[in-house]
């Protein structure tokens, strides 16, 4: 397989999995076993492509919020997005200062996938007994901010899944609205994380010089295009269906990872999300 085809396929995988509640980590883990390892800069770039995609999907909503600051409803919603991001940023920094580290084996990632699938079943069963609520409260804001940190500390959880289901448990039971808030909070969260990683990579002159920039650009564009389609599809799907199919998929993927890699094997360095 050529390096160019590998870059294209990794862009496709990142675009599909970054915002679906199935964890990009598990998929990249499997894919890079056959497609080859990539640099930190490459992995950051394809994540940035996914960020660009969700910004494009919600461009009208973002413009509405930016221009509607005088409207109490829009102002409150914007402040809740900022508040959830700040909670994530403060807790994330605290976790780093306390020495929180990413796992070095496949097992925690696979278990997080399986446990996350079971959580989806439980949340959906609970949500069915609740009235449909589409109001973002301050409780939802706190829950989403904390959930993003949980996803960061336990790779395989999936940031989008953690945020969406935390929002639902906090009372935002209307799935499309829960997904919207989770994705909008994810924009500054992922921009900050990606910017930080990019800054670290760009300080390494040798790594920058060795990077195949054409392949990186291809993967970025593919990730953005596929990510746009994936988010649009997800929003349409959850308007009529539950998240239960994603739960079954997560459990199956977790079992595959355990079966293929075994317990305690080194999964190699990957961008974990």
Q: Give the tens place of pLDDT for each residue, 159-177.
A: 899 999 999 999 999 999 9
Please check the confidence at residue 92 and state whether its pLDDT lies above 50.
yes
- CB contact at 8 A, 11 and 229: no
Please check the confidence at residue 272 and state whether its pLDDT lies above 70.
no
Render the burial of 55-70: b for 16+ CB within 10 Å, e for the rest: bebbeeebeebeeeee
d(CA 115, CA 22): 12
- CB contact at 8 A, 210 and 1: no
State the average pLDDT over residues 206-224: 88
Question: Mean pLDDT lowest for which of 14-18, 59-63, 124-128, 191-195?
Answer: 191-195
Mean pLDDT score of the chain: 87
> Where along the chain do its domains lie?
3-261
- CB contact at 8 A, 248 and 21: no
State the average pLDDT over residues 80-95: 91
State the average pLDDT over residues 184-203: 84
The pLDDT of residue 133: 94
The pLDDT of residue 53: 93
d(CA 97, CA 67): 37
Q: Which residue, 211, 263, 258, is CA-closest to 26?
A: 258
Would you call 19 exposed, middle or buried from its count of C-beta atoms within 10 A (0-12, 13-18, 19+)? buried
Contacts of 66 (CB under 8 A, 6+ apart): none
Q: At what angle do helices 175-202 and 59-67 cross, to 10 degrees?
A: 90
Question: Which pLDDT band, with edges at 50, 70 and 90, does 140 fall under?
Answer: very high
Q: Give the tens place of pLDDT for each residue, 216-266.
A: 899 999 999 999 999 999 999 999 999 999 999 999 999 998 888 776 555
Question: Mean pLDDT lowest for which of 19-28, 142-151, 222-231, 239-248?
Answer: 19-28
Full-model pTM = 0.87
The pLDDT of residue 273: 43
Of all residues in the chain, the percent with pLDDT exceeding 70 is: 93
250 phi/psi in degrees, rounded to 5:
-60, -45
Q: Which residue, 76, 84, 82, 79, is CA-closest to 142?
A: 84
């Amino acid at each position: 397989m050529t390096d160019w085809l590998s870059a294209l396929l990794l862009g496709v995988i990142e675009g599909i999995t970054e915002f679906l509640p199935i964890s990009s980590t598990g998929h990249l883990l499997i894919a890079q076993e056959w497609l080859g390892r990539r640099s930190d800069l490459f992995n950051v770039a394809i994540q940035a492509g996914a960020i660009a995609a969700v910004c494009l999907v919600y461009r009208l909503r973002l413009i509405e919020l930016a221009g509607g600051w005088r409207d109490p409803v829009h102002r409150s919603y914007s402040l809740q997005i900022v508040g959830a991001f700040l909670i994530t940023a403060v807790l994330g920094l605290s976790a780093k200062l306390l020495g929180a580290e990413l796992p070095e084996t496949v097992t925690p990632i696979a278990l997080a996938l399986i446990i996350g699938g079971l959580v989806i079943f439980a949340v959906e069963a609970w949500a069915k007994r609740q009235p449909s609520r589409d109001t973002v409260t301050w409780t939802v804001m706190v829950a989403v901010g904390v959930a993003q940190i949980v996803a960061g500390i336990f790779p395989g959880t999936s940031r989008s899944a953690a945020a969406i289901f935390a929002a639902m448990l906090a009372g935002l039971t209307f799935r499309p609205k829960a997904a919207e808030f989770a994705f909008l909070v994810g924009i500054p969260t992922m921009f900050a994380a990606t910017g930080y990683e990019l800054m670290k990579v760009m300080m390494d002159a040798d790594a920058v010089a060795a990077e195949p920039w054409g392949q990186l650009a291809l993967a970025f564009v593919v990730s953005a295009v596929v990510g746009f389609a994936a988010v649009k599809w997800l929003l349409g799907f959850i308007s009529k269906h539950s998240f239960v199919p994603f739960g079954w998929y997560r459990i199956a993927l977790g079992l595959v990872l355990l079966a293929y890699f075994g317990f305690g094997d080194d999964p190699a360095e990957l961008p974990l999300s």
